[in-house]
Amino acid sequence: MDLKSVVKKLRQFADPSLAESWDNVGLLVEPTPPHEVKKVMLTNDLTEAVYREACDWNANLIISYHPPIFAPMKKLVQSNWKDRIITGCIENRIAIYSPHTSYDALAGGVNDWLLQAFDISSSKPVTQSVTSAGPYNKKLQLTISSTDRESILKCVSGIENTFTTVNELNKEFCEINVLCGSGTIPAILESTQCFCDKIQSTALFDIQKIPKSGHGMGRIGKLTSPISVSEAVERVKKHLGLAHIRLAKGIGCDSISSVAVCAGSGGGLLKNLNVSLYVTGEMSHHDVLHAAQSGVSVILCDHSNTERGFLKVLQESLTKVFQNQVDIQVSKSDKDPLDVV
């Protein structure tokens, strides 16, 4: 399957617009076409060990959950480990795609997988993903005389990347509504300049974003029945395949009836929520202290331990997406950089 087709399917599987605005998601390294993708390696972090594994396996594409290119790169030199990976992928014609927070927000994505440590009766995102109404974020509304309708409509309808509708107000007047992007507005106004004396009024509106059902950052889950804190700990350890995790027991928190999870770093998201337990990879000392003193228990598992297990689920999902046309393998070299010693 050619790379463009693969990327198209990846974007359909998880829309990059679900990602946080600060993130760097999508196709990060693109070899010159044509580029045929036969083997895809999945990893949480693209380290040199994972890169070597991908080369040995003759991978054509690496899907790295965390983007290996995040901060601006001013040079590519062999003294830097990330630079060595990027130049190596370019030289060996290995494409790199990163989904990161788009998979966090995705319904059925990383956070839904993390929540599966518990028996849940209902769940919802901590923060809801929103989307624009199509490719447009502005509506330009022109109120005109009905006798000028066709001539003005002809001018604005010819502008690219717009969608025009007409609303009849009464026998004398009508509204021409032009859906567009911010950059298209000057062209619309210029096209109607010769009709200035015929336009009764002009108004510009922001098109409100609408919730994207099921998608969003983090998850809040209501348990089917309350469990003890110790049972919650064991469930998380089993689900993540960990021998050790860290626990801050909330004051007066003797049982868990609801939980909020956030894969990776949850300090910014898991705050002042009406739940019994937070589960995440990492939080600052002060965030943990605040939660525990407020009666909320906290389980910390280290950052990538709350993400990596999803790769097996992703492998199955993408095998179906690509209809077995590509071979997909989860990296064996990928692991959390921290060990308990």
Has 35 been labeled as part of a binding site?
Answer: no
Mean pLDDT of all residues in the chain? Answer: 94
Give the model confidence (pLDDT) of 179-203 as tens digits. 888 888 999 988 888 888 888 999 9
Predicted pLDDT of residue 1 = 96
Whether 14 has a pLDDT exceeding 70, the answer reads: yes
Whether 330 has a pLDDT exceeding 90, the answer reads: yes
Q: How confident is the model at residue 170 (pLDDT cuts 50, 70, 90)?
A: confident
CB 175 within 8 A of CB 141: yes
Predicted pLDDT of residue 50 = 98
pTM: 0.81
Q: How confident is the model at residue 156 (pLDDT cuts 50, 70, 90)?
A: confident
Predicted pLDDT of residue 195 = 86
Whether 92 has a pLDDT exceeding 70, the answer reads: yes
Mean pLDDT of the 84-107 span: 98
Whether 289 has a pLDDT exceeding 90, the answer reads: yes
Has 303 been labeled as part of a binding site?
Answer: yes
Whether 131 has a pLDDT exceeding 80, the answer reads: no
Predicted pLDDT of residue 134 = 67
Contacts of 309 (CB under 8 A, 6+ apart): 113, 239, 240, 241
Predicted pLDDT of residue 210 = 74
CB 55 within 8 A of CB 94: yes
Q: How confident is the model at residue 163 (pLDDT cuts 50, 70, 90)?
A: confident
Has 66 been labeled as part of a binding site?
Answer: yes
Strand partners, 127: 217
Give the model confidence (pLDDT) of 209-257 as tens digits. 778 889 999 999 999 999 999 999 999 999 999 999 999 999 999 999 9
Mean pLDDT of the 126-150 span: 86
Number of H helices, E strands in the chain: 10, 17
Predicted pLDDT of residue 132 = 66
Predicted pLDDT of residue 332 = 98
Q: What percent of the chain has pLDDT over 70?
A: 99
Mean pLDDT of the 115-138 span: 89
- The dihedrals phi and psi of 205, each to the nearest 5 degrees, come to -125, 145
Mean pLDDT of the 251-276 span: 97
How far is residue 182 CA from its own chain's centroid? 24
Has 307 been labeled as part of a binding site?
Answer: yes
Helices (H), the chain: 3-13, 48-56, 81-91, 101-105, 110-115, 149-157, 185-191, 229-240, 285-293, 310-321
Mean pLDDT of the 117-137 span: 88
Q: How far apart are CA 251 and CA 284, in angstroms?
A: 18
